[in-house]
DNA sequence: TCCTACAATAGACATTGTCTAAGTCAAGAA
DNA sequence: TTCTTGACTTAGACAATGTCTATTGTAGGA
């Protein structure tokens, strides 16, 4: 966590109470597996700093994404989710019914599955894989 | 195309001018590679049937998705896109700059890359892969 | 301590999608 | 063919998510 704040300071960030709280909400206490929406980040941040605005949360999240400290994931076509686990490549497993998200680590490099003949001249730099199914709770409740 | 209309009739669809136009916009003349947003579908449908409403376009698209005739894809966290190429499994290659989308066919079954130990009791039934990079035009313009 | 460029705020605005109440009509029945 | 009826369509309100601007505040260096 303080690692993150150190990196941000090193990148010239002006350290404000708002930015500190957003970073703490995202990256605090063993939160490597959370995937919060912007509104959820705002709600938790407002718990510590009641006057923080939505615009600041959106701005800060956008900056963290630009800096590569947080990854934006869109698993449901609704609100984007913000993933602080940006330094460990991983993919996501999503329950189609309740929406719960798990980090998963597929075997091999997913990029390698796309042959050159299927790249159409693109410079392919990234791949995002979303596995979908039913979580154990939803499967038994079905 | 008439294939699609036949299947819909067989499923008990009441055939209205609005539904016919939406199906034609999505699945008409060699459109296997289009990925339109709901608003784009509405605009094209309104070209043929000016009084068609947004609600009807959203309703019809939702029905086509439920019936498995069209696939909903969210490549940019903004508007969902509707893909009539639902009967041929494929994935998408997206330009990070201009947003252009290509259908691609990775080697092997992407589901096979997720080991049982990484499934956490989920019943995994589907996988969606989005490759990202720069298209040839955007790469040279960079 | 003071300055100032950068950051935060409130709230308007934009985009995308959902819902409801009222009117319309496709398709089967008579 | 005409009638009937429940499915369908419509306009527009509403909701959720995200963006932008004008104003005010402040972190950090001089
Ligand atoms: Mn994650
Ligand atoms: Mn496609
Ligand atoms: Zn579930
Ligand atoms: Zn491009």
What are the pLDDT digits (tens) for B58-99?
Answer: 999 999 999 999 999 998 889 999 999 999 999 999 999 889
Residue B31 has pLDDT above 70, yes or no: no
The answer as to CATH 2.50.20.10 being correct for domain B89-142 is no
Rounded to whole angstroms, how far apart are CA atoms B9 and B13? Answer: 5
Could you give the CA distance from residue B95 to residue A98 in angstroms, rounded to a whole number? 31
Look at residue B133 and give its three-state secondary structure: strand
The Cα of A38 is separated from the nearest Cα of chain B by a number of Å equal to: 13
In the DSSP assignment, the letter for residue B87 is S
User: What pLDDT shows up at residue A76?
Assistant: 84
A-chain residues within 8 Å CB-CB of B113?
106-108, 110, 113, 129
Lookup: tokens for B16: 């209205």
With a cut of 90, say whether residue B136 has pLDDT above it. Answer: yes
Residues in A 25-84 whose C-beta is less than 7 A from nucleic strand C are 49, 51-56, 59-60, 77
The pTM of this model reads 0.91
Residues surrounding ion ligand 4 at CB below 5 Å: B 95, 97-98, 135, 138
Pick A53 or A28 by higher pLDDT: A53
Q: What percent of chain A has pLDDT over 90?
A: 78
CB atoms near residue A126 (< 10 Å): 13
- Report residue B11's pLDDT band, with 50, 70 and 90 as the boundaries: confident
- CA–CA gap between residue B6 and residue A82 (Å, rounded): 43
Q: Which fold has domain B1-86?
A: Arc Repressor Mutant, subunit A (1.10.10)
- Residues 6 or more apart in contact with residue B121 via CB below 8 angstroms: A135, A136, A139
Inter-chain contact B107–A115, Cβ cutoff 8 Å? yes
End-to-end C-alpha distance for chain A, whole angstroms = 40
Q: What is the mean pLDDT of residues A17-31?
A: 88
A121 touches chain B (CB under 8 A): yes
How far is CA A18 from its chain centroid?
19
Question: Is residue A112 within 8 Å of residue B110, measured between CB atoms?
Answer: no
Are B129 and A128 in contact (CB < 8 Å)? yes
Instruction: Strand C: list positions under 7 Å from protein Cβ.
Output: 6-11, 15-20, 25-27
What's the gap in Å between A1 CA and the centre of ligand 1?
A: 17
The integer distance in angstroms from the CA atom of B43 to the C1' atom of D13 is 22
pLDDT in tens, B105-124: 999 999 999 999 999 999 99
Q: Which ligand is nearest to the CA of A72?
A: 1
Sketch the domain layout of chain A as residue ranges.
1-86, 89-142
Query: Residue B10 pLDDT > 90, yes or no?
Result: no
């Amino acid at each position: 966590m303080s690692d993150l704040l150190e990196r941000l300071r090193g990148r010239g960030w002006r350290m404000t109470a708002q930015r500190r709280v957003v970073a703490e909400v995202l990256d605090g206490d063993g939160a490597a597996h959370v995937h919060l929406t912007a509104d959820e980040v705002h709600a938790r941040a407002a718990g510590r700093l009641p006057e923080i605005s939505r615009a600041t949360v959106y701005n800060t999240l956008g900056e963290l994404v630009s800096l590569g400290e947080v990854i934006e994931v869109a698993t449901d076509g609704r609100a984007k989710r913000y993933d602080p686990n940006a330094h460990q490549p991983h993919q996501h497993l999503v329950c189609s019914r309740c929406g719960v998200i798990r980090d998963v680590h597929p075997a091999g490099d997913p990029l390698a599955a796309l042959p050159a003949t299927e790249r159409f001249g693109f410079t392919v730099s990234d791949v995002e894989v979303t596995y979908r199914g039913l979580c154990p709770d939803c499967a038994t409740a079905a």
